[in-house]
Amino acid sequence: MISRRMLALGAACLFLGASIPSSQAQQWPSRPVKVVVPYGVGGVTDIMARLTADRLSKMLGQTFVIENKLGAGGAIGVDYAMHSPQDGSTILFIGSTLFTVLPLAQKVNFEPLKDLIPVSITGTNGMVMVVGKDAPYSTLREFIDYARANPGKITYSSGGPATNNHLSTAYLAGKENLDMVHVPFGGGQAALTAVLSKSVDMHFGNSSDLIEPVKAGTVKALAVSTAKRMPQLPDVPTVAETVPGYEYLAWNGYAVTGGVPAEVSQKLAEALRVIAKDPEVIKTFGNLGIESTGTSQEEAIASIRKDMPIYAQMVDMAGVRKK
């Protein structure tokens, strides 16, 4: 027969066991934290991750170490984090397409908002549409008219299928019923080089990669994808000034996998909100055409839910939905 003393002891043990994860989460970070960036070194996501990870190290008293785990559009990095200890010692810094695009375009081992959960949108950036400096069109309207009069002749580069470069152009083509040829490359820099070398006619790239080439005159900017003109390129019109309703924003931010305690996410989001207001962070991001945001986790989740049906439409326009 089980005594009352044994029952009380068992209950105490259950209570203690249940409280351990919460206690560990409240003490987070108690050891160095890996920040998995599922893209290459030197890209805009990597730069943002390193800057904010340095601030997190100083603010939270533990080292935040960047680990680049690239491949499969970012899915390899997510898989690595999913198979790491779920105690907050491994987190991610990723792009928006891992939530909105990749699961539609290829087979992945995670479900967005369940196995991969956003913590905070760190910064948003627009895209810049560029052509060769000697191109026969100097405005977006001229480009659209030329493309429409020459179906299948215009080529455009991207960093690969289902990337922001690809989707932003496919979205424009879909809205304007343009027939253009997609030429994918192994990364955004290679896609930009293709325009500079005149191997392709057009490229819709990250503002962080294109502000300086545009200012230097090595490429010609026809439009930006943001709702308003970018302060870094005030003379470049928005796409929406020619194609009403067009807007394309990319973002990068922190995320965790599904097993990481909510307390870790909350503490991380609170720290990132402070970092987003750091004048040096704002200036560095601004020079890259990035707006420092530092959203709450609830705001990040709401933004993704809003974007999902919009990006699903773009995936279909680009013809990259998985079979």
Q: Which of 223, 241, 259 is the last residue of a domain?
A: 241
- Name the pairing type of β-strands 155-158 and 202-206: parallel
CATH number at residue 190: 3.40.190.10
* For the chain, the helix, strand and coil percentages under 3-state DSSP, each to the nearest 5: 45, 20, 35
Tell me the pLDDT tens digit for each residue of 265-285. 999 999 999 999 999 999 999
Beta carbons within 10 angstroms of residue 17's beta carbon: 9
- Residue 115 and residue 256 in one domain: yes
- Residue 112 and residue 156 in one domain: no
* Bond into 213 cis (ω within 30): no
Spatial distance between the Cα atoms of 47 and 63, rounded to a whole number of angstroms: 17
Spatial distance between the Cα atoms of 96 and 232, rounded to a whole number of angstroms: 23
- Residue 194 and residue 290 in one domain: no
pLDDT at position 22 is 53
Task: Give me the residues of the chain with pLDDT under 50, please.
Answer: 1-4, 6-20
The dihedral built from the CA positions of residue 164, 165, 168 and 170, taken in this order, carries a sign that is: negative
pLDDT at position 40 is 86
4 within domain boundaries: no
- Residue 166 and residue 117 in one domain: no
Asked if 15 and 7 count as a contact pair (C-beta separation under 8 A), the reply is: no
- Residue 121 and residue 133 in one domain: no
- Residue 254 and residue 235 in one domain: no
pLDDT at position 211 is 94
pLDDT at position 11 is 46
Spatial distance between the Cα atoms of 198 and 316, rounded to a whole number of angstroms: 28
The dihedral built from the CA positions of residue 211, 215, 217 and 222, taken in this order, carries a sign that is: positive
176 within domain boundaries: yes
HSE, side-chain direction, 13 A CA sphere, residue 316? 6
- Residue 145 and residue 232 in one domain: yes
14 within domain boundaries: no
Provide the residue type at 11 as one letter.
Answer: A
Q: Which of 195, 217, 241 is the last residue of a domain?
A: 241
Domains in the chain: how many in total?
2
pLDDT at position 136 is 95
Q: Which of 194, 222, 241 is the last residue of a domain?
A: 241
Which helix (H) or strand (E) covers residue 146, if one does?
Answer: helix 140-149
pLDDT at position 6 is 46
- Residue 118 and residue 258 in one domain: yes
Spatial distance between the Cα atoms of 213 and 55, rounded to a whole number of angstroms: 29
pLDDT at position 233 is 96
201 within domain boundaries: yes
- Residue 119 and residue 132 in one domain: no
Spatial distance between the Cα atoms of 237 and 41, rounded to a whole number of angstroms: 31
Tell me the pLDDT tens digit for each residue of 182-238. 999 988 888 989 999 999 999 999 998 899 999 999 999 999 999 999 999 999 999
- Residue 131 and residue 234 in one domain: yes
Domain extent for 181: 126-241
pLDDT at position 323 is 85
